[in-house]
Amino acid sequence: MAAPAVKAARGWPVLALGVRNRLLRFPGLTQVRGSRYGPEYKDPQVDKEYYRKPLAELTEEEKYERELRKTQHIKAAPASKTSSVFEDPVISKFTNMIMKGGNKVLARSLMAQTLEAVKRKQFEKYHAASAEERTSIERNPYTIFHQALKNCEPVIGLVPILRGGHFYQVPVPLADRRRRFLAMKWMITECREKKHRRVLMPEKLSHELLEAFHNQGPVIKKKHDMHKMAEANRALAHYRWW
């Protein structure tokens, strides 16, 4: 988790970043971002299969873990996390990024309509294709979604670094979560801005996802542009110190 941000109340000095939140529970200091849980709090286990295992089948480690969890502090599970078999963390993250103004209902319905649109388009292609081509047509909207986002992830990114009064765009290897975030962000921005007023979001999103699945389309082009810029600024790579 990122270091918690702290807003000082009037009259109190701001403490340095990186201080543990336990020491900040003074009156007058409010925490703005970051987790309120201390390090001893464990993540909740929502997997039904974990609890369905009969006691006889557990190994020693698992039995120990179960006993330990009975006495540990456990964080509250967020409302968006379910023990449904159809739950997908990537889809949930994407839905949250589509959401505007906290309207999760709308975001979820848009996501569902997008997946349905992808499925129907692929079924149409499937029925129109011959027997040899049918084996190569993927009809599962979830595999298409995951593959499309994976295809859109950049390998290397650019970071502005201040040297001598100027900001230079330095090529930098990106962390996994940053790559996933960039892929999703580019996809959503592309669909929001570059569509006609009358075209609905699910239709545009499904079209872009299918194109990205086949390594074509504007989002893939953006990824390639990013790679080319990083290649062009190769000389500045030594500005990176980490």
Q: Which residues bind other proteins (CB under 8 A)?
A: 84-86, 111-113, 115-116, 119-120, 123-124, 127, 139-142
Position 241, amino acid: W
**All residues at 6 or more sequence positions from 192 whose CB lies less than 8 Å from its CB, including other chains:** 201
Q: Which is nearer to other proteins, 149 or 220 (CB)?
A: 149
| Token reading at 86 | 């159809």
| Token reading at 187 | 């996809």
User: In angstroms, what is the minimal distance from the CB of 140 to other proteins?
Assistant: 4
Q: Which is nearer to other proteins, 120 or 192 (CB)?
A: 120
User: What's the distance, CA 155 to chain centroid?
Assistant: 16
User: E strand or H helix at 236, and its extent?
Assistant: none
User: In angstroms, what is the minimal distance from the CB of 206 to other proteins?
Assistant: 11
Determine the Cα–Cα distance for residues 157 and 164; give it in Å rounded to an integer. Answer: 22
Q: Which is nearer to other proteins, 50 or 123 (CB)?
A: 123
User: What's the distance, CA 142 to chain centroid?
Assistant: 15
| Token reading at 220 | 């893939």
User: In angstroms, what is the minimal distance from the CB of 217 to other proteins?
Assistant: 22
Q: Which is nearer to other proteins, 142 or 181 (CB)?
A: 142
User: In angstroms, what is the minimal distance from the CB of 52 to other proteins?
Assistant: 10
